[in-house]
A = this chain, B = another copy of it.
Amino acid sequence: MVNKAKKLSIGKQLIENLKGENIKDYLRLITSDPHIAGTQNNKKVGEKILNLWKKNGLENVHFVEYEVLLSYPDFDNPNHISIVNRDGKILYKSNGTSPVIFPKEQGAPNAGIQWVAYSAPGENEGEIVYCHYGRKEDFEKLKKLGIKVAGNIAMIRYSHGFRGDKVGFAQKFGAIGVILFSDPAEVAQEGTDKAHVYPNAEWMPKGGVQRGSVLHQFGDPLTPLTPAKPDLYKSRTIEEAKAAGILPKIPVLPLSYKDAYEILVRLSGNLVPFEWQGGLNFTYHLGPGFHESGTKVKLSVKAKYEKREIRNIVGYIYGKEEPDKYVILGNHYDAWVYGSIDPNSGTSTLAEVARAMTQTMNETGWRPSRTIMFCNWDAEEYGLIGSTEFVEEFEKQLNERAVVYLNVDLISANNSFDAATIPSLYHVVVDVAKRIPNPLESEIIKGRKTIYDTWIKTFPSNFPSHPEFPQMNIPAGGSDHTAFLNFVGIPVVDFRYHNASWSHGYEYPLYHSLYETKFLNEHIFDTNNLAVHRAVGQFWAELARVFADSPIIPVNITFYAETLLNVYVKDLIKDFEPLENGYSEAKDAKKQLSNLIKNCEEFLKQSHQLENEIQKIQKPNSKDNFRSRILSNRILSVERCFINVYIRPENPSKRHLLYSVSDKDLYSSNVMSGVYDAIDNFINSKTDKNKLAAGKELAKQISYIQAAVQCAINTIKEYI
Structural contact, B715 and A233, CB atoms closer than 8 A = no
Candidate in A233, A400, A626, A634 with the most chain B CB atoms within 10 angstroms: A233
Which residues 220-253 in A have Cβ within 8 Å of B in the complex?
A: 225-227, 229, 231-233, 235
Contact (Cβ within 8 A) A699 B233 = yes
The closest CB in chain B to the CB of A626 belongs to B321
**Interface check A119, CB cutoff 8 A:** no
- With both beta carbons as reference points, the residue of chain B lying nearest to A237 in the complex is identified as B696
Chain A residues 307-336 with CB under 8 Å of chain B are 314, 316, 318, 321-324, 326
The yes or no answer to A718 lying at the interface (CB within 8 A) is yes
The interface residues of chain B lying within 8 Å CB-to-CB of A393 are 710-711, 714
A700 adjacent to B233 (CB under 8 Å): yes
Which of chain B's residues has its CB closest to A645's CB? B645
Residues of B within 8 A of A314 (CB): 720
Q: Quick check: A225 and B646 within 8 Å, CB to CB? A: yes
Distance from A655 Cβ to chain B, minimum over Cβ atoms (Å): 11
In whole angstroms, how far apart are the Cα atoms of A714 and B394 in the complex?
8
Which chain A residues (662-720) contact chain B, with CB distance < 8 Å? 699-700, 702-704, 706-707, 710-711, 714-715, 718-720
Question: What is the minimal beta-carbon distance from A288 to any residue of chain B, in angstroms?
Answer: 42
B324 touches A711 (CB 8 A): no
Chain B nearest CB: distance from A642 CB in Å?
Answer: 10
The 0/1 profile, CB within 8 Å of B marked 1, for residues 395-410 of chain A is 0110010000000000
Give every chain B residue within 8 A of A704 (Cβ-Cβ): 226
Chain B residues near A318 (CB-CB < 8 A): 719
Contacts of A232 in B (CB 8 A): 592, 595, 703, 706-707, 710
Complex Cα spacing A60 to B720, Å? 10
Q: Does A640 sit at the interface, judged by CB under 8 A?
A: yes
CB-defined contacts of A371 to chain B, threshold 8 Å:
719
User: Which of B396, B634, B637, B700 contacts A640 (CB under 8 A)?
Assistant: B396
Known: A323-B718, A324-B630, A633-B324. A700 touches B396 (CB 8 A): no
Bound state CA distance, A204 and B235, in angstroms?
Answer: 54
User: CA separation between A415 and B318, bound complex, in Å?
Assistant: 54
Residues of B within 8 A of A625 (CB): 626
**CB closest chain-B residue, reference A710:** B229
Residues of B within 8 A of A714 (CB): 393-394, 397
Minimum C-beta distance from A376 to chain B (A) = 14
Contact with B along A279-321 (1 / 0, CB 8 A): 0000000000000000000000000000000000010101001
CA distance A623 to B578 in the complex (A): 63
Apart from A318-B719, A393-B711: 15 A-B pairs, beta carbons within 8 A: A227-B707, A227-B710, A231-B599, A233-B592, A314-B720, A324-B634, A324-B718, A326-B720, A371-B719, A393-B710, A396-B640, A397-B714, A400-B637, A625-B626, A646-B649
Write 9 A-B pairs (CB below 8 A) sorted by A numbering: A60-B719, A226-B704, A226-B707, A229-B710, A233-B588, A393-B710, A396-B711, A397-B720, A626-B629
Q: Hey, which bits of chain A sit against chain B, CB under 8 A?
A: 60, 64, 225-227, 229, 231-233, 235, 314, 316, 318, 321-324, 326, 371, 373, 393-394, 396-397, 400, 588, 592, 595, 598-599, 625-626, 629-630, 633-634, 637, 640-641, 645-646, 649, 699-700, 702-704, 706-707, 710-711, 714-715, 718-720
4 pairs of A and B residues whose beta carbons are closest in the complex: A233-B703, A649-B649, A231-B595, A324-B630
